[in-house]
């Protein structure tokens, strides 16, 4: 799983304990990568000892950096969470490549381009993580 941090997993810079608990459970079955421009996100106060890989982006072309992070992954095996304009290229690449794209509303809004390049929209990160923790629900949501 690749996930944006600001506005997706956290709201106003804070990641809630229930989100951390879900990430911990999910990390037992999949690798979790957090992509963020927030330089403080490397610190333990953000994720504690959660088994996540944090990749801090530089200031320029964050949308391109996020998309290019995919180079080491089989896109069809990727789930991506995002909410902003700087997530749109990553979401688009994963959607085109057969992966799953989830736009996450977390109190800070979401960019229309992020939504257009997603398969579904969730009301918050807990709901998005619960879909991965309960794949039968996800299958029901996406079936034709």
Is the distance from CB of 38 to CB of 61 less than 8 angstroms? no
Q: ∠ CA(31), CA(36), CA(42), 5° rounding?
A: 75
What sign has the CA pseudo-torsion 115, 121, 123, 127? negative
Predicted structure pTM score:
0.93
User: Which residue segments constitute the domains of the chain, with CATH numbers given?
Assistant: 2-142 (3.40.50.1000)
pLDDT value for 121:
96
Which residues are bridge partners to 33 per DSSP? 2, 53
pLDDT value for 96:
97
- pLDDT for 35-83, tens place per residue? 988 766 665 567 778 889 999 999 999 999 999 999 999 999 999 999 9
Give the max Cα distance, the chain: 43
**Which regions of the chain does DSSP assign to beta strands (E)?**
2-4, 33-36, 53-56, 79-82, 100-104, 120-122
What the block records as the tokens of 123 is: 């009301």
Instruction: Return the percentage of the chain with pLDDT > 70, whole number.
Output: 95
- Least Cα distance to 80 among 65, 62, 98, 99 occurs for 99
pLDDT value for 140:
87
């Amino acid at each position: 799983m690749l996930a944006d941090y600001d506005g997706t997993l956290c709201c106003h810079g804070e990641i809630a304990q229930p989100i951390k608990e879900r990430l911990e459970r999910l990390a037992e079955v999949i690798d979790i990568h957090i992509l963020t421009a927030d330089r403080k996100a490397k610190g333990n106060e953000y994720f504690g000892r959660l088994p996540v890989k944090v990749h801090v982006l530089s200031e320029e072309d964050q949308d391109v950096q996020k998309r290019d992070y995919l180079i080491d992954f089989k896109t069809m095996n990727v789930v991506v969470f995002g909410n902003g304009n700087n997530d749109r290229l990553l979401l688009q690449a994963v959607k085109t490549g057969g992966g799953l794209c989830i736009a996450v509303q977390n109190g800070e809004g979401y960019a229309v381009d992020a939504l257009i390049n997603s398969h579904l929209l969730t009301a918050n990160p807990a709901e998005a993580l619960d879909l991965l923790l309960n794949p039968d629900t996800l299958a029901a949501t996406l079936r034709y």
